[in-house]
Structure 1
């Protein structure tokens, strides 16, 4: 795990996973995803591999670009290595699979309503 530049233009579409090491959510995992306009989505969960699943603490909220940098700093997030990111996300959150289904569904709907000869 290491430090990461939080920049909307280079942030992965599916977000990044990190471990929160300070503050209210210390020891929880963070999935940070860039949302529309100037907001970021924070998905927070305790580790279901070590905690009782029926008693897991979790939270989610949105923050502006400026607030995101401050919040991530206050949380002292240690980011997962990109090679471990997908596996950790599936084990901890499993939100991305729903995002991928929605994107596919949206893409199929757009293709149904596209006029002949029209491109995306």
Structure 2
């Protein structure tokens, strides 16, 4: 795990996952995703592998571009290595699979409404 620049232009489309080490959410995991309209989604969860599902701690909220880096810094997030990111997300959040389904549906719907190219 290491430090990462919170930058919308280079942020992965599916976000990044890390462990929060300070503050109110210390010990929980964060999935940080760049959203539309200059906001970031903070998805927070306890590791479901370490407790009972009815006792899981979780939260989510959104922050503006200007505030997101400060919040991540205050949380002292230790980012997962790229090689661990996908497996951790699936085990802890499993949100990305739904995002991928929605994107596929959206691209299918857009392709249905595109007009075929007209030849002159």
Same fold (TM over 0.5): yes
Specify the structure having the higher radius of gyration (Cα). 2
Deviates more, 1:88-97 or 1:52-61: 52-61
Give unpaired runs (5+ residues) of structure 2: none
SS for the counterpart of 2:78 is strand
The alignment status of 1:79 with 2:82, answered yes or no, reads: no
Question: In the aligned structure 1, how far is the partner of 2:32 from the partner of 2:51?
Answer: 21
Aligned to 2:64: 64
Question: In the aligned structure 2, how far is the partner of 1:66 from the partner of 1:20?
Answer: 20
Question: In the aligned structure 1, how far is the partner of 2:51 from the partner of 2:114?
Answer: 48
Question: In the aligned structure 2, how far is the partner of 1:82 from the partner of 1:22?
Answer: 22
Give RMSD over aligned pairs.
0.9
Aligned to 1:38: 38
Instruction: Give matches, 1:102-113, under 5 Å.
Output: 102-113=102-113
Question: In the aligned structure 1, how far is the partner of 2:8 from the partner of 2:113?
Answer: 30
Give unpaired runs (5+ residues) of structure 1: none
Q: Please, what TM-score do these two structures have when normalized by structure 2?
A: 0.96
4+ long deviations beyond 3 Å: none
Aligned to 1:54: 54
Aligned to 1:92: 92
Aligned to 1:17: 17
Following superposition, the deviation at residue 117 of structure 1 comes to: 1.4
